[in-house]
Structure 1
Amino acid sequence: MYSSCVSTSDRLIESTRDLLWERGYVGTSPKAILERAEAGQGSMYHHFKGKHDLALAAIRRSAEELRAAAEEVLGGPGTPYERVAAYLRRERDVLRGCPIGRLTMDPDVVASDALRAPVDETLDWLRERIAGIVEEGREQGQFAPSLDGEEIAALVVSTVQGGYVLARASGSSAAFDTGVRGLLSLLAPRSDPPAP
């Protein structure tokens, strides 16, 4: 599964990320982490203080990757509308859900200030980044002057996270795609309707 050039620490973090996404905090046992990481007993405690410390490293890495993927399209070329559209339409494993958003439903993550912090910080960063793009679009006359950047940013993030929930419930990405198309039709400049 892992190449020999991947460090034990990285294998443990990546295995924990996958297990948190699949099973949540409680379902991610040290034994399951070690098995998936193909690591020997005691490896986790050699590199980390314990499961909580390892989970925190895994959540932070997931948060960093989410930010990098979002920034790639939000900071890319195009008008503000095109950048928001690129974020909404970027390739995702819709039926698997969001590795960060799913953690908000995990009672053990939410109950821990340390584990919840990177989740909250990432979602805050995303809303602020999108709000700035919406404000940029307003200043350029692309978005209606009545639009509030913070409100639209919250709507964009809610559409993505809610789209994951609807897609998983139905077993189809159609609900996610419908939500994205609906939001883009509301945001589209009159001269630039969204693509089908």
Structure 2
Amino acid sequence: MYSDRMSTSDRLIESTRELLWERGYGGTSPKAILEHAGAGQGSMYHHFRGKPGLALAAIRRTAEEMRATTEDVLGRPGSPYERVEAYLRRERDVLRGCPVGRLTMDADVIASDELRAPVDEFLTWLRGRLASVVEEGREQGQFAPGADAEEIASVIVATVQGGYVLARASGSPAAFDTAVRGLLTLLAPGDRQLRGGRR
């Protein structure tokens, strides 16, 4: 499953990331992590402070990866509206849900200040990064002059996270796509709004 060149600590982190996404913190046992990683007994405690320390490393890595992926989309050339659209439409495994967003529904993660911190930090960064793009677009006349960039950024994040919930509940990515199309229509510059957000 993992490359022979991957270190034991990396295999443990990657295994924990996968299992947290699939099962949550409570459903991810140390035994399951070791089996998934193909690691020997005791290796978790050699490299980490047990399950909590390993989970923290896994959550941090997931947040860092998502931050890099998001920046790759929002930092590319194009108008602010086009970059927001690219973020909303980027390829996602919709039916699995957001690997960071799902952690907010994990009681064990939310109850731990340490485990919750990287989740909150990522979502705070995401709202701020989106707000900077929206503000840029507002200054260029692409968004309503009176628009509050931070509020719109929060709506974008809420639409994505809510879209995951709707898609998982219905068992179809179509619900996510519908939410994205609706938001893009609302955000579209005036001429696009008249055409129902079509380009």
What TM-score do the two structures reach when normalised by structure 1? 0.98
* 2:32 equivalent to 1:29: no
- Matched residues in 2 for 1:49 and 1:187: separation? 46
- How does 1:25-174 map onto structure 2 within 5 Å? 25-174=25-174
Q: Gaps spanning 5+ residues in structure 1: where?
A: none
SS in 2 for 1:95: helix
Which residue matches 2:176?
176
**1:195 to 1:5, Cα distance in 2 relative to 1, 3 A:** farther
Distance, in Å, in 2 between the alignment partners of 1:191 and 1:39 is 58
- Counterparts of 1:29 and 1:180, CA distance in 2: 36
Kindly, what percent of the aligned residue pairs are identical? Answer: 77
By how many angstroms is 1:142 displaced?
1.1
Give the Cα–Cα distance (whole angstroms) in 1 for the partners of residues 99 and 150 of structure 2: 23
Deviations 1:52-78 (A, max 9, x none): 000000000000011011111111110
- SS of aligned partner of 1:3: coil
Residue ranges of structure 2 left out of the alignment (5+ in a row): none
Q: How many residues end up aligned between the 2 structures?
A: 196
- For 1:40, give the aligned amino acid: G
Q: Is the 8 A contact 2:11 2:37 kept in 1?
A: yes
CA distance in 2, matches of 1:3, 1:61: 18
- How far the C-alpha of 1:3 sits from its partner, in A, is 1.6
| Letter in structure 1 aligned against 2:9 | S
Separation in 2, partners of 1:31, 1:108: 18
Distance in 2, matches of 1:125 and 1:43, equals: 33
